[in-house]
Amino acid sequence: MPHLDAAYRFARWLARSPGDADDAVQEAFLRAYRSFDALRGSDAKAWLLTIVRNCSSTAFRGEQRRAFVPLPEDEAQVDGAAMIATTPDPETAAIRRDEERTLDRLMTSLSAEHREVLVLREIEDMDYREIATVTNLPIGTVMSRLARARAALKASWLQEIEAKPHAVP
């Protein structure tokens, strides 16, 4: 199944819970499967993520805009264990785990609109055109929204540092 992880990552950052993300991805793959004829253009990944986004539309409704992605407790433990096993310095690994959790929390505090453009650009490494396709926005809006999203993440990061001066990386 091509792009399954990308679809899941994207869904996960839009969904209210891991279960919702699972459902959205499954629904997206079924829709993609049924509408194979609708595959246009050059980028199957952007096309698939567009469908994932449509299936995750609860993230964009009313008060659920600031939908919360629950902190990935289970994954953090698994990842952490793996990291300790491969990192000579357990202390570094612990700090890294801390930063991961902080960053995840900061991301979830952003609006879904900001979160999605950040994930598409920085994690999925999509260009403006692809992001415009997935989010159904004009390129100009993608540019300005991306700028605002990055500024918002930086601002909440600074706030975090102010609140916990000892946590400065």
Partner 1 sequence: MQCPEALRTQAYFDGEVDAVSAAAIELHLESCAQCRELLQDLQRTRTVLRRDLTDFRASPALRARIDGALDQESSAPTRRRPPAGRTRWRTPAFWMGAMSGMGASAVAAALVVVFLTPLLSHPLVDDLVSAHMRSLMPTHLIDVASTDKHTVKPWFAGHADVSPVVADFSEQGYRLVGGRVDYLDHQRAAVVVYQHGAHLINVFSWAANGSYMPTSTTRDGYHLLFWRTGDLEHCAVSDTGWDELQGLVRLLKNLSSHDQPN
> Where on the chain is the footprint of partner 1 (CB under 8 A)?
1-2, 4-5, 7-9, 12-13, 21-22, 25-26, 29-30, 33-34, 36, 39-45, 72, 75-76, 79, 96, 99-100, 103-104, 107, 118, 121-123, 127-129, 132, 138-140, 143-144, 146-147, 150, 153-154
Give long-range contacts, CB 8 A cutoff, 24+ apart: 136-140: 136/50
Q: C-beta of 41: minimal distance to partner 1 in Å?
A: 6
Nearer to partner 1, 58 or 72 (CB): 72
Q: C-beta of 25: minimal distance to partner 1 in Å?
A: 7
Distance in angstroms (rounded) separating the CA atoms of residues 80 and 96: 9
Nearer to partner 1, 87 or 144 (CB): 144
- Give me the torsion for CA of 144, 150, 153, 154, rounded to 10°: -120
Q: What's the Cα-to-Cα distance from 11 to each of 29, 99, 111, rounded to whole Å?
A: 12, 22, 15
